[in-house]
Structures are given as C-alpha cells and as structure tokens.
Chain A
Amino acid sequence: MASNEEILAGLAEIVNEETGLDEADVQLDKSFTEDLDIDSISMMTIVVNAEEKFDVKIPDEEVKNLKTVGDAVSFIVSAQG
C-alpha cells in the first residue's frame, strides 16, 4: 500500500514521462486540463500507466471525475483500500 505522498510522487513521475512537465509542478490542487494543459489522449495514457504502477482499476467513466491531481490521488488511495 502506497501512502498519499508516494502516490503523488508516482503520479508526478508518470506525468513527467508523458508530457515533460516538471515533477514539482504536479501538486494536489492542480487541474489536469487547466493548470497542466494535459489533453484527453495524454490523460488516458497517464491513467493506464497509473493503473499498472499502483495495481488498481480506474474505470473509464471515473476518469472525467478526476479533475485535479488530488482527485486522482484520493481515488487511487480508496481503490487500493
């Protein structure tokens, strides 16, 4: 089980790998689309990579609810539960 901090760090790594954004810019209050400028194709890539990294399932219909990095961290924590 990964902690919130570990999940945030892991997500930042995935986002950096996909988009080149600095890992430090990936913070809980940031919106994927508005702050980080991540398009839908990159978002799906990030989701699939997060599923593999954290061994969770993130259903497609859930992805639209993951507006901020914090939403994603919370979802992954509960999905691991």
Chain B
Amino acid sequence: MARKVVITGLGATTPIGGDVPTLWANALKGVSGAATLTDEWVEEFQLPVTFAARASNPASETLSRVEMKRMDPSTQFAVVASREAWKDSGIEEVDKDRLSVAFATGIGGVWTLLDAWDTLKAKGPRRVLPMTVPMLMPNGPAAAVSLDLGAKGGAHTPVSACASGTEAMHVGLDLIRSGKADVVMVGGAEAAIHPMPIAAFASMQALSKRNDNPAGASRPYDVDRDGFVMGEGAGALVLEAEEHALARGARIYAELAGSSVTADAHHITAPDPEGLGATRALKAAMFDGRIQPEDVVHVNAHATSTPVGDVPEYTALRAALGDALDDVWVSATKSQMGHLLGASGAVESVLTTLAIYNRTTPVTINLENQDPQIPLKVVTGEPKELREGSIVALNNSFGFGGHNAVVAIRSI
C-alpha cells in the first residue's frame, strides 16, 4: 500500500487576495481582480489589450529591499506564498534531507530577461548585472524556496505552460509516495504582466480584448467569452506523508488522493477537440486515487474563458464522470482572478483543498448566458455547500504543448 499524502499548509498571493484567508473570502464572495493597466508601456506600445489582473499585494509588503533586488518578480511571489504555507503547516522540526521542493513556473524570469536585454542594448555588456542569470532561470522560484526553507531533498521545477502548477502537485505526490521525501513544498509562480508576453498572447488571439470592461472580461462558459485575462501571483501547498503529519499532531486539510499528467500529442497550442488527452488524465487521476465518479462532488475547472478551450474540457469531464457529472458543482475561478499561467494550477489547488476542507465552493462570476455546448452545473451567485461523508474534488489544468494535469483531493 502506497503512503498516503495529506495537505497541511496553504499559501497564496493572487489578484484577489495577498494571503489565503483573503483569497478564500473573496473567492466565496465573487470579486474581480482585473483592472486597467496604468503603466506607461501600455500607451508606448499601443497594446491591443490594456488590462490585466495584478497581484493585489506587492511582494515588497513581505520581502526586504535586498530580497526584492535579488529575485525576479516570479520568485518574489513564490517565496511570499511558500512562507505563508510553511507557517500555516505549523512544522517546527523536519529532517531537511527529507524535505523537497517542487515549484513550477510557466515562463520563468521574463522581467529579468527582458530588462537585461534592454540594459545590454542601451548601456552595453558591463551593465548587465551578475545576478541576471540566477534571476531569469526558470528554476529560480524552486531554488529560492529551497534556500529559504533549507530544503535539501531536491528542488524540482515542472514546466508545462499553464499545467505547471498542477504538475508540481503530481511531482510532490510521487516524491512522498515513492519514499524519496516526507514533506514537499509544492507550488507555482508567475509574473508575466509585461508588454512582450501581453503582445505575444494577444497576437495568438488568446486574450480577451474587452478593454472597456476589465472586471467583466474573464467569463468562462459564457457565450460571449473572448479570451483569457492575464493574472500573476503564486500558490503554495505543504504536502506531507500522513504518518509524518499524524506524528506531530498536524491540522490536516485534505488528502491528495491521486494525480495524473498526460500529453495530447495533437497540436502545439490547440486542445484536442474531443478532449481525449484531458479525459485520459481525469480517468488516470481517479484510478490513481481509487475514486468512483459518484465520489466527485466538485471540480475546479481549467476554464480560461477562451472560445476554443472551454468546450473540450466539458467533453472530457462528461467522458470521465458520465451521468455523475450532473451532480458535480463546477467553479471557474479564473473568472475572478484571471489566468495565473504557471501559477494557476497551484492557486486553484489551494482553492480546491479549501473547498473540500470547508465543504463549500468558490463562485464563478460573469456567467450571464451559459454556452449550450457546455451544460455543466456551474456555481454562480452564492457558494454551494458540499455534502457530508467522504467527498472528492478535482482540479484540472491544461497547457500549451498539449499538457494535461489533474489532481484529486479527498476529504479526510
């Protein structure tokens, strides 16, 4: 029998809350983190998209000036979320050789990379600072979290675009089950609200262009959805072998019961129209956790609000859950905080864990006319109570490249 893995600590910094209590309160209330960008580069480059969902609290509220200077913004968010999760776990003593990190990012230190390029062009090579490489490398967040915690059991960086954060959960689960670690800090971080990524995502028609109504722009499942809204931030979770958590009398939020990662091998950006890769990921995660469709009461959907992305996810959920899907409450939380790219799966895993722990769901905003092709039971208006007994929630994340990652979280 494989070791059971539980979730004992949560941390987040997001567009709708700089810590987990604020994030959770807002996720139940239904607020939007999107707003018009006031940066001069919006005007300078005449960007086709002029809004995004910025982190509600700057990292400088938590980190020192020197820490800020030595970390890319993505790493700053990672350290903020990881410190909150670690404190929340209440762990006081741990064998650091058995403490691992799996901290994801989709894009990495894009601000550092492009700032250094601008400096090189304007001032020459001498002015490209020596911290540039450690700040831009995609493993920067994982490395900084490992340094911050003194975690010596290996620091991993899953990179699978917008599936990265959920893949980090998958990696953490495997590390503990296989006996390689007792505790893993998992998470995802992203800070890409920069004119170049905005231009690039807009160029592929992935972003909403609802410039006159940022708060109403992210509208998963709505017939008038026209793309996602860029978000930023980080989510972090402390995964722990159950016996390790019980031995120290830890507060346990939920069990990380199963996970799966699959690849579509269909197209570099377009999802498989029949959602076959996503279906296999859902079924495999459920098999991994010995979960029946009837056990599932809630799904935190990937649901980015793009015209082409939201339908295949429904097809996959129907294929994996069958008629049981009709009793499942689905939340599309990107409607509130936008799309945190490589951090989204981690932040949404935090929300999914809290949904199971509190037996109540976050809400979906901006759903006015539900797409008839997506007949899901979507949580709108008020949060929904989840039933008593053993229950399971699924968190889906899909990324460019055909990456599908699913985690299953069960009540304890």
By a beta-carbon cutoff of 8 Å, the part of chain A in contact with chain B is 17-20, 40-41, 44-45, 48, 51-52
Contact = CB atoms under 8 A, between A and B. Distances in A.
A47 to B, nearest CB: 9
Interface stretch (B27-35, B125-133, B196-204): B125-133
Given A41-B131, A45-B131, A19 B66 contact: yes
B130 A41 contact: yes
Contact of B127 (A17, A18, A20, A52): A52
Interface of B: 64-66, 69, 126-127, 129-131, 134
Given A40-B130, A48-B126, 20 more contacts: A17-B69, A18-B66, A18-B69, A19-B66, A20-B64, A20-B65, A20-B66, A41-B130, A41-B131, A41-B134, A44-B129, A44-B130, A45-B129, A45-B130, A45-B131, A48-B127, A48-B129, A48-B130, A51-B126, A52-B127
Main secondary structure of the interface of A (DSSP, over half): helix
A9 B126 CA distance: 23
Contacts of A45: 129-131
Contacts of B66: 18-20
Contacts of B129: 44-45, 48
14 contacts: A17-B69, A18-B66, A18-B69, A19-B66, A20-B65, A40-B130, A41-B130, A41-B131, A41-B134, A44-B130, A45-B129, A45-B130, A45-B131, A52-B127
Nearest to B67: A20
Main secondary structure of the interface of B (DSSP, over half): helix
B161 to A, nearest CB: 31
Nearest to A40: B130
Contacts of B126: 48, 51
A40 B131 CA distance: 10
Ranked nearest first, the 6 interchain pairs of A and B with the lowest CB-CB distance are A20-B66, A44-B130, A41-B130, A45-B129, A45-B130, A41-B131
Interface centre among B65, B129, B130 (most CB of A within 10 A): B130
A20 to B, nearest CB: 4
A45 B130 CA distance: 6
A58 B134 CA distance: 24
B120 to A, nearest CB: 13
B64 to A, nearest CB: 6
Contacts of B64: 20
B124 to A, nearest CB: 11
A17 B69 CA distance: 9
